[in-house]
Every structure is written in C-alpha cells, then in structure tokens.
Structure 1
Amino acid sequence: MDGVTETEQAATGAGLVVGDDGRARPLWASVDPMLRAYYDTEWGLPVRDEHGVYERLSLEAFQAGLSWATILRKRAAFRAAFANFDPDVVAEFTDADVARLLADAGIVRNRLKILAAVTNAKATVALRDEGGLADFVWSFQPPETPRPRSHAEVPTTSPESVALSKALRKKGFAFVGPTTMFALMEAIGMVDTHLVGSHRRGTSGVWPGE
C-alpha cells in the first residue's frame, strides 16, 4: 500500500485502524469521537468499587439488544435518572419511580431492564454482608486472558462469565446472562480483549502487555 508504513499495514491486517495520532484501534473505536474517547480512556481499565461495578452492570444490561453507542450517548441521562447509580438510593425506588423512568425519553424505556436495575441495586446492598459486589464479581477473574488478533477472535462468553452469571442469579440479580457478564468483564478490566497490536493492549495493569 503506497504511503502506508509496515506498522500500519500490520495493524490494518489485524483488524485495526491507525488513527491520525498514529495509534491503532479496532474499527468500532476509530470513527465516532465518543467511542474513540471511551476506548482510549475507560474501556478495559480496572473498576473495583461497588458503585462503579453496579453502574457498569446496569448499563451493560440496558445495552442488551442495542448498540453500545446508544447507551453511551444516554449515559448522562441514565446517571440523572438513576441517582448516579447509587445502589442505596435505587434500591428504594418505588412504582412511582418506575413510572417516572418509563416516561423519561433520555434513557432506554424498557420496563424489564428498569426493574432489573432496581432489583440489582437491592441485591448489591444485600451482597455487602458477603464482601460486596466488586469483590464478588472479581472473584471470577480467569487465570488468563484472550489474545484476539481480529474482531472475529474476540469471544462473547467464557466459562467464567457463565459461572458469574449463575452465581449472580443465585444472589438475586437479573439481566445478568453470560454474554452480558462477559461484556462487563471486558469493560472493567477482568479480561483484556483489546486486539493484539492495539495501543491499549496490556495497559490495564491487570494483564501483562504483549
């Protein structure tokens, strides 16, 4: 390819796109500035606090069947609607709050997902007696992480995400299927599914670089 460096050729061949800043990213994070910023500064970095894990668990549940870009664009509205995802507050939401949320055009108005967020807030509060949501989720961290070289090689579930899904359901959580839990594990740094060659690969501090 004329005018393209060997590094850029390798990145392109691996399903990566080299941006104007010289950094290689997957296609999904290379076009939309919002997704690019999310990829560069947040996705895959460790989240180990209850509030952070509860928020991301909630957003991943709302994302089911939709694009992540849709959820990200509505994130500020979600935070306003759900009391900044404070589990103690959301756990006390009433039928009136559910009705309010169903009328809020700024969020995803899905009754089952809204009810799941309330249910999961209650389960999060209850789980404090056993060490808390964050430690519970992180106890399912796998012994190794995938090393995908293309989008097709990125898994959507794992034995650990299946086990986490089952364990959370037993604790009273809802909308925590294996695929959603794997997406959560990716988002909070429990696994590193950045493509090999991406500038973010190995930057979480959880997994060694390539």
Structure 2
Amino acid sequence: MKRCTWASDSAEMLVYHDKEWGIPKKKVSELFECLTLEIFQAGLSWSTVLRKRDAFRKDFVHFDVAKISQFNDDDIERLMNDEAIIRNRAKIIATIENAKACMNNDLVRLTWQQFNFMQMDGLNDNNKNDIKKFIKPYVKSFKDAGFKRVGPTTLYSYFQAVGVINDHELDCFRHDEINNAVGDLL
C-alpha cells in the first residue's frame, strides 16, 4: 500500500498518517487539540509531539476549552514543571489564550466556514510562497478572533491535520479515501 513518504519515519507516524492525519474533524476538542499540538510542534519534529501527546492530553484536560480557559499562573507553573510535555511558556500561554478565544468563537465554523464546509485538495506542488499567499487571509481571521501563535506554517499544518486541506500525496491510498469526506458538519 502506497503512503505519503513522511509516514514511514516511525511506527507512530505510520499510525498517525493512516488513522488521523487529514481526516475531517468537527468536534471542538479534536480541532483544539490539533491546533495546540501544531503550535507546540513549531521548531520541533512531529514525532516529538506524538511521543508527548498523552501527557498533553492529561495536562490540558483532554483539550476541554472551557477548563483550559480558566487556567491561571499556578497552572502555567505546573505545566512548566512537567517534563512529559514540551515546556515552552509562550506556547502554554498561547494555549490558554486560544481556549479563551474558543469560548468567544465557534472553532468549527472558524475552521470550516471559509471553505464552505468542504474539503479542498492541497497545494502539494506549490512552493512555500504560494502557500503563504493562500493562507494569509485565514491567518488574519484566526488572529482577528483572538488566537495566538497561528502563523502561516502552523495554520496550514492545522488545516492539513484536521482535514480541511487534503494534502495526502496523490498516489497515497488515503488521498482518495478521504477526498471530500467532510460530510454534514452543520
């Protein structure tokens, strides 16, 4: 079975590719988890994030935005002292601020409405400048809604992960399986 070339880096990456990456998500907790993990991944390898994912889920109360939005300085210090996660104060604070933004915005709509609740094919063959130009208005909409640390690379990766953009390689078995599989999100 042919897969995206990046999926063979490890067993964890293979499972993530086959069972999660690019599959349309519509629950706030799933979307928020993906956004948070993409933010923490910036500057690191995705396999590092996957290895720490269970600890992130525990520490961020299964990505319950209502609970995370109530985190305070004590919670920040608790998280900074937990060696099981990526300890980056700015990213931890951004996660709390993003949970607050979710309390004031519908993350499902913010993620999908701009694409008419339909999955689009990716920009596999385009260069990074094309992707940055494409993603710029979406970055603005997230920032205008109060989200932090959502630059072009992070947001494009988020859209890939949650299935808004199907960036599976064209000969990957997952590409056609999930193409336009968004279904009824409303």
Same fold by TM-score greater than 0.5: yes
The corresponding residue for 1:121 is: 99
Preserved CA contact (<8 Å) 1:165 1:181: yes
Which runs of 5 or more structure 1 residues have no equivalent in the other structure?
Answer: 1-22
CA–CA distance in 1 between the matches of 2:90 and 2:103?
A: 20
Cα RMSD for the two superposed structures: 2.0
2:150 aligned with 1:176: yes
Distance 2:11 2:37 in 1: 20
Instruction: Report the 3-state secondary structure (helix = DSSP H, G, I; strand = E; otherwise coil) of the residue aligned with 1:140.
Output: helix
Query: How far apart, CA to CA, are the structure 2 residues paired with 1:106 and 1:124?
Result: 25
Question: Which secondary structure does the structure 1 equivalent of 2:3 belong to?
Answer: strand
List aligned pairs for 1:40-59, cutoff 5 A.
Answer: 40-59=18-37
Ranges in structure 2 where 5+ consecutive residues have no aligned partner? 182-186
CA distance in 1: counterparts of 2:83 and 2:149, whole angstroms: 21
- Deviations, residues 49-89 of structure 1 (Å, cap 9, x unaligned): 21111111111000111111110110000001111110000
TM-score by length of 1: 0.79
1:62–1:71: 8 Å Cα contact kept in structure 2?
yes
Aligned residue identity for 2:100: K
Secondary structure at the counterpart of residue 58 of structure 1: helix
- CA apart distance, 1:25: 1.4
Alignment partner, residue 72 of structure 1: 50
* Runs of 4+ residues over 4 Å off in structure 1: none
Find the aligned partners of 2:57 and 2:42 in 1 and give their Cα distance.
Answer: 18
Instruction: State the TM-score, normalizing by the size of structure 2.
Output: 0.89
> Which structure would you say has the larger Rg?
1
Shift, 1:31, TM fit: 3.7
CA distance in 1, matches of 2:179, 2:4: 20
What whole-Å deviation, never above 9, does each CA across 1:143-177 have from its counterpart, x for those lacking one? 842363xxxx3655354522111111111110111
Q: Is 158-167 or 117-126 further displaced after alignment?
A: 158-167
2:81 corresponds to 1:107: no
1:189/1:206 contact within 8 Å kept: no
Instruction: Tell me what 1:202 maps to.
Output: 176
What amino acid does structure 2 have at the position aligned with 1:91? S
Distance of 2:70 and 2:101 partners within structure 1: 12
After superposition, what is the alpha-carbon deviation per residue over 1:175-209, rounded to whole angstroms, capped at 9, x for unaligned?
111111100110011111111111111222426xx
Check whether the contact 1:190–1:206 (CA below 8 A) recurs between aligned residues: no
Number of residue pairs matched by the alignment: 178
Residue type of the partner of 2:18?
A: D
Percent identity of paired positions between Structure 1 and Structure 2:
36
Whole-angstrom distance in 1 between the partners of 2:165 and 2:127: 11
Conservation of the 8 A alpha-carbon contact between 1:45 and 1:188: yes
**1: CA distance, partners of 2:126 / 2:45:** 17
